[in-house]
Each structure stands twice: as structure tokens, then as C-alpha cells.
Amino acid sequence: MAPNTRTTPAGTPTNVTQKHARGGIGESTLRPDGTLKVTGEFAYSSDMWHEDMLWGHTLRSTVAHAEIASIDISEALATAGVYAVLTYDDLPAKMKNYGLEIQDTPVLANGRVRHHGEPVALVAADHPETARRAAAKIKIDYRELPLVTDEASALAEDAPLLHPGRDDHHSGHVPHPNIVHRQPIIRGDAAEAAKKADVIVTGEYVFGMQDQAFLGPESGLAVPSEDGGVDLYVATQWLHSDLRQIAPVLGLPEEKVRMTLSGVGGAFGGREDISMQIHACLLALRTGKPVKMVYNRFESFFGHVHRHPAKLRYEHGATKDGKITHMKCRIVLDGGAYASASPAVVGNASSLSVGPYVIDNVDIEAVALYTNNPPCGAMRGFGAVQACFAYEAQMDKLAAKLGMDPVEFRRLNAMEQGAIMPTGQVVDSPAPVAELLRRVKARPMPPERQWETAGEGADVRALPGGLSNTTHGEGVVRGVGYAVGIKNVGFSEGFDDYSTARVRLEVINGEPVAMVHTAMAEVGQGGVTVHAQIARTELGVTQVTIHPADTQVGSAGSTSASRQTYMTGGAVKNTCEAVREKVLEIGRRKYGSYHPAWATAELLLESGKVVTDGGEVLADLGELLEDESVDLELEFRHRPTQAFDLVTGQGDGHVQYTFAAHRAVVEVDTELGLVKVIELACAQDVGKALNMLSVVGQIQGGTTQGLGVAVMEEIIVDPKTAKVRNPSFTDYLIPTILDTPTMPVDVLELADPNAPYGLRGLGEAPTLSSTPAVLAAIRNATGLELNKTPVRPEHLTGTL
């Protein structure tokens, strides 16, 4: 891959005061788990083992909407090796539902199933195959009900109500019970502004359902304890949210449900909801034995939420000199059978639906529906991804109608620091949208016809179709496309978001050692590396131990919304600073009378010593803390946000904004409908790169996921049965190394003064703009409108 470039404007504040030990902030330190993962030695949650453990299995519904007339478990219970079979009637507590925000998801189906693959019964046995065979013996009499599969069937006058009698904090303001949440945003007068437009373009866009496709399927181990509680070792994204949902269903106080993070093989939002956690605990408490549950890939497609499919209708107007006059849009998100994160996805989709552009007059509506389709929730860039696909296509349409260069048209309308969002919020940190676009456009183009190698014929790997060897370059056309996106960072709309960190500094064998303990879920994003870097920077020590994440420390919030480095990194930084002050207090108490510099506030910890800002050594930490240690646990909160007004959508709803731009270069065989993405160049502002190696990896990873949904990834749901038709990696395709293009990365560091070290959350933004950039390039090559993801060969050849 092409090397990245790095740009740090002169005078950019970093807020770093310590002269850190090697491996601190700003260095590309290696992941401690990297070698283990690439050699296959890393212990994932599916690798856990316990003496005398049982295996759990979930029986799932074979239909999407039905009453359960009867369940007969007698034959399953009589199977040799089976220890327990549980249904809804066996649940031990009054609380039998769970949910991230709305507790509408039953632990096991209660007389009705609402989607294909809903959990109905649980089995514990002495072997996983025994558990599966026993589950297959459970007899269920389903009486199928009418299906709700789209907006028309969800909002029809005689539509079945999927959650009759619902009473949640969104139910009072939605116009129909099958709408999970609705968010309008009104600013200015879009109708009046449309009269002043010289050109108006409209578009209807369809965004497919994407799967997180993480490496490690859902898995965990529940171990009953002597106090009547349970210890759960699990791969998740948010330990304390899981705990909040699990304990009431088990009928236990939270202190009796002890959770420890196990090895996580990726997440991307798919582990933010409960999957097997409650089921394993129920079986463990019923049998009195440890119970392990591991989904196979087929079950994983049913065991977690997916990205919301969406239908979006947009209208934009502009004057002949290229200034956008107004925007109207309606976004309909399919939330599936249960709420999950749909309300937050609606908030993001609506508030970010304008994109990184200055548009004074907007009329926006976003809704999420309850349907009998698979439940949808968090996935990398949620809400903003779907909106970016549509508004960037609109930018190209406007530019074409005005006869303008698409990049220059975007730059003309790009927001910058001080711009006002459609919600009324002022963007109070750098917003280098125009500069990002300039950078990706200015990059050298990759060579033409790369498949041609001198004297050796064609290298088919570089051709559309690749190793399928279906074309040798006849009819291959190059296309170039651009896109830029805006993403919020952190939890929004008044959510009380905080993270906690415990830091202990002590002397072991004469050397100062820091221990950092948080509940942050390390899902591959590299937080364990960054936390050690922060501790080295703030405490001036080389040796840093990262304590396993568990619920014995305060919440670190979710590993989602690009928030962990900002929030839990901020908590580690603040706690380290407090520990440093405690160390200096000890020094002042012990040695303060020996040197006047101890009275100043400018003392630093550097290379295991207390030094003045001029570098004079006052004490060695090993001696200073020889008979003492400092151990503190503190919370970190970002600045407050507000809920969006339910009529106007106004409010300071987001913590921070982040931006990325892409240029896609593609080659398309227009006769066969085959696409080869040659290059996806990205420019992104990260505020402050705490670990450049990790930064580039996150940008390239997010870019690849955007590429996947552009040209191959989609969960296909049969519209007649609401059943998933492709729950395997045989039929659900994801990019491999042969599909992945060159991805040069240009990193800007424009500090956000409100954030720790000036950093920006960065993991989601590249997922937004890579998809529309690829679609724009394919449109450029073919001249086709292409308003749906993913683009398939039949869309390009006219055979659809």
C-alpha cells in the first residue's frame, strides 16, 4: 500500500505537558496482541474452557411472524446428555425483556415471534452436537401472522401492530405505533428558498442491509458461583450495559453478576446488543455448571443486529453560480422487529443528513420502522453512512446540472469552523472539508491499464473479475469519483456519557510501574495500546500494565461512536494527571524542604524521575514510592449535549464532528458488469494522531467496509416471507485481499481544543465517504444513475 503522509500545522496545540518515556503519545507503538493474533495463538472468547462445562444452544424461529400455539420439549429433555431445556415460562425473574434503550426484546419468545431467527428455547448438554440434536427435537406449533416488511405495510390502516400497547419515551410523539422514532429538523424556509434556485435535482436512494461480518462469532462462558451469582466471560462492546440488562432478567443484583471481557474478534456495532449473554447465564444457574455458548457463522447472522437498510428521498436546489439554496429529505430506516439502537440511528441520520455543507434552509424527516425483518441497530457510522450515500450522489447531480467540477462545487459549499449545523449547533473546532477534498483530488492518479505487464501478457488479478479470468481488458472503462462525509463522535442528544479509569503507580523490584484498569472493550481498535501510551506520557514511566477489562471498575461506556480514545483515553489521562499530583505531594512531604523547586507547580515525571521543567532531577520514583503507592479511580465526562427538539430538531446534540474525504478510481467492464476498484485515497483530519500506525489502520479498515457495501455486501431478505436468504459467507460476500485496492492515506492533525490532546474520534468517518466515492466512480465510468447499494453486475449491464 502507498505510504501515508502526515501534516501538522505549525502551532497546533497538543495539550501534552510531560516529556514521556519511550512508547508515549505520538509514537507508532505496536499492539501487544498483534503477534498472537497473526500466529493464531490469541485466546478468543470461543477458546475458553472450564472443567465439567456444558454447552448451550439456542433454538430459533423458522418463521418471521407467528403465534406460538404450543411448545413440546419432552423429547429434547429425554435426550441422553441433556441437562436443561428452557422456554419463556422458565425465566426466573419478573423482568423478561431487555434492550439498549427500549426494553422491548424478549429473552425468549413469549407466545409470538417477530422475526426469522428469534430465540425460542435453550438447551444445555454435555456436547455441542448433543445440544443441537436435542433442540431439533423440540416441537413448536406456529400459527403464522400477516407480515410487516416495508413502510407501506407498516403504516397501513390495518397494519398489524408489532408492539401493541407499547409505552416508551418515543411512543408519545410518533404518528403510528409501528414507528420506533421520528425526528424532524426544520431550519430556515426550504419551500421559499426553492423558488430562488436556478436548478433543482431530486433523487431516490436505496441502501442495503449490511452485516458487521466480524471475525469471531458470538461466544462466552458463564460460571455459577457459590454466592448464587454468576461470572460471565464474554466478547462484547459494553460490559456495563450488558450488566444493566442481564442482572434484572436473572433476578440478581448487579454485584452478583461479574463480567470479564474475553478475546474479541471484531465488533463494528454488532456486539453492542445482547446475544448469548443472558442465555448462557440462565443455563448455568439452572444446571449449576459452567455453560459455554459459541455461535456458528450461520447462527451469527441471526444472533446480532445489522446495519439499517434505508430508503432516502432528497431534493437540492442551487443558484447558477453554485451556491446551494435548500435541501429537503425524507429518510426511512428499517429497524426490524425490535428497537435496539434505532432511536439513536434516527438522530444521527437526520442531524447529519445535510452533510458537511452550508445549507441555510432545510426540511428533514427521518423515521425508523418496526417490521418483521431482522433487527437492525449499531454498525460503524450508523445513520450517517446511509445519509452520506444519498447526499453525495446529490452533490454530483447538482454539479453536473450546473456544468461544474464536482470537487470544486463541494468546496464552494463546504462548511468550515464556525459554520452552523441544521440543528443550530455551531461547529466550534476545525472543519477542513475543502482542504480534504483538495488533497484527495491533488494526488497522482494510478497508472492506466495496470493489468498490462511488459512481455508477460495480462495480470488478471488487476482486471475486473480478477482471477475468474473473464475479461482481458476489452471494454474496460476507467472512472473517478469523489465524496466527503461528516460524522459525530460520542453519544449524543443529552446522553450522560462518561468513562472511568483506575490508575495505580507503585514500585516493583525497584522500578516504577503503572497499572491501568478500565472496562473498555478492546475489540481491535487499539485502545490497549493507546492507554499504555497515555500512562507513559503522563507518568513518565516505561512499564505499564493494562488490567483485563471487567465490571470491578466503573463503566467505560461502549466501544462505539468513535468515542473510546476520546472518552476512556480522556479518563486515563485525567486519572494519570491526578496520580502525578499525588506523587508530587508525596515528594513535597518527603523532600520539599531540601530544594525550593518542590514548591512549584511545574514539576514533571520523566524517565522514572521527578524533574523541574528545566530538566533538573529532584528525586527518583523508585525511592520516592518505595514504601508507598498511589491508586485512584476517576470519571471523565465530555461537555454536555442536548436532545433535539421533537418539532424543529434544534439543539446542540453532538459532542464533536469528524471529517473524511475519498477519491475512488475504478475500472469497469461495461459488457460483463464487473468492477475493479483500483485505488481508494483518503484524507482525514484526526485532530491528534496518538498512534499513527493505528490511525492509518483504522482509516484503511473503515474504507474497506465502505467498499464492501458499495459493490458486494447485502443481507437479502425475502419480501414475501421476511426470511434471510444468505446467512453465510458463501452467499454474503465481503472484500478479501484480492478486492482491496491501494489505499493511500493523508492525515491532517488540526487539534480540537475541547478534546484530550486535541484528538478526534476517527474510526467511523472513512466508512461514510468510501461508499459514495466508489459509486460516483462507477457512475463516471458508465453514465448510469446507480442509486442503490450494493452495485451488482446486472445493474451495469441492464439485465436487472
Q: How far apart are CA 549 and CA 563, in angstroms?
A: 17
Given a cut of 90, whether residue 222 has pLDDT beyond it is: yes
% of the chain exceeding 90 in pLDDT: 91
Closest CA to 198 of 379, 360, 58, 325: 325
- Bridging pattern class, strands 257-261 and 230-234: parallel
What are 122-166's pLDDT values in tens digits?
999 999 999 999 999 999 999 999 999 999 999 999 999 999 999
Reference 309, options 385, 214, 363, 237; nearest CA is 385
Closest CA to 392 of 300, 486, 322: 486
Contact 19, 537 (CB under 8 A): no
Q: What is the DSSP string of 574-637?
A: HHHHHHHHHHHHHHHHHHGGG-GGGGSS--EEETTEEE-TT--EEEEHHHHTTT--EEEEEEEE
Q: Taking residues 201-207, report their average pLDDT.
A: 98
pLDDT, one tens digit per residue, over 624-661 is 998 899 999 999 999 999 999 999 999 999 999 999 99
pLDDT confidence of residue 159: 96
The domain ranges of the chain are: 5-30+498-637, 45-145+218-294, 432-487+656-797
Contact 135, 123 (CB under 8 A): yes
Residues 193, 324 contacting (CB under 8 angstroms): no
* H or E, element range at 203: strand 199-207
Write down the pLDDT at residue 4: 40
> Distances from the Cα of 352 to the Cαs of 90, 169, 348, 420, 661, in angstroms?
44, 23, 6, 12, 15
pLDDT of amino acid 466: 82
Nearest alpha carbon to residue 478 among 140, 778, 158? 778
Taken as a whole, the chain contains a residue count of 800
Q: What is the pLDDT of residues 59-73, one digit of tens each?
A: 999 999 999 999 999
- N-to-C CA span, the chain: 35
Alpha-carbon torsion angle 57, 62, 68, 74, nearest 10? -40
- The predicted pLDDT at position 8 comes to 35
Burial class (CB in 10 A: 0-12, 13-18, 19+), 171: middle
d(CA 591, CA 588): 5
Which of 56-65, 285-294, 306-315, 603-612 bottoms out in mean pLDDT, i.e. has the lowest? 603-612
Residue 122 grid cell = 435453550
In the predicted structure, residue 251 carries a pLDDT above the cut 70: yes
Above 60 in pLDDT, residue 48?
yes
Write the class of the CATH domain 45-145+218-294.
alpha beta
Per-residue pLDDT at 782:
97
Residue 318: its pLDDT value, please?
98
Calculate mean pLDDT across residues 277-291: 98
Please give the CATH topology (third level) of the domain spanning 5-30+498-637.
Answer: Aldehyde Oxidoreductase; domain 4 (3.30.365)
Asked if 122 and 85 touch (Cβ cutoff 8 Å), the reply is yes
| Adjacent-strand bridge partners of 568 | none
pLDDT in tens, 416-444: 999 999 999 999 999 999 999 999 999 99
pLDDT one-digit tens code per residue, 574-616: 999 999 999 999 999 999 888 999 988 888 999 999 999 888 9
pLDDT of residue 613: 86
Which is nearest to 362 in space by CA: 184, 186, 191? Answer: 186
Question: Which pLDDT score, from 0 to 100, does residue 459 have?
Answer: 79
Residue 12 reports pLDDT greater than 50: no
DSSP 488: E
And the C-alpha cell for 12? 497546533
Largest CA distance in the chain: 87
Q: Are 422 and 184 in contact (CB under 8 A)?
A: no
Query: Residue 340's Cα: distance from chain center in Å?
Result: 14
Would you state the pLDDT for residue 22?
Answer: 80
Q: What is the mean pLDDT of the chain?
A: 94
Contact 658, 562 (CB under 8 A): yes
Does 45-145+218-294 match 5-30+498-637 at the fold level?
Answer: no
Mind listing the pLDDT tens digit for each residue in 386-420? Answer: 999 999 999 999 999 999 999 999 999 999 999 99
Given a contact cutoff of 8 angstroms between Cβ atoms, the answer to whether 335 and 182 are in contact is no
Q: In whole angstroms, what is the distance from residue 350 CA to residue 185 CA? A: 7
Amino acid sitting at position 25: I
> Does pLDDT of 472 surpass 80?
no
Class of domain 432-487+656-797: alpha beta
Closest by Cα among 126, 165, 139, 164 to 76: 139
Q: Residue 453's pLDDT is what? A: 67
Task: Check the CA dihedral 555-638-416-749 and report its sign.
Answer: negative
Supply the angle between the helices 406-413 and 433-442 in degrees, to the nearest 10.
160
DSSP state of 550: B
Helices (H) and strands (E) in the chain, counts: 18, 31
Residue labelled with grid coordinates 485532530: 687
pLDDT at residue 746 is higher than 80: yes
* Structure confidence at residue 5 as a pLDDT band (50, 70, 90): very low
Give DSSP secondary structure letters for 386-451: HHHHHHHHHHHHHHHHHT--HHHHHHHHB--TT-B-TTS-B--S---HHHHHHHHHHSPPPPS-TT
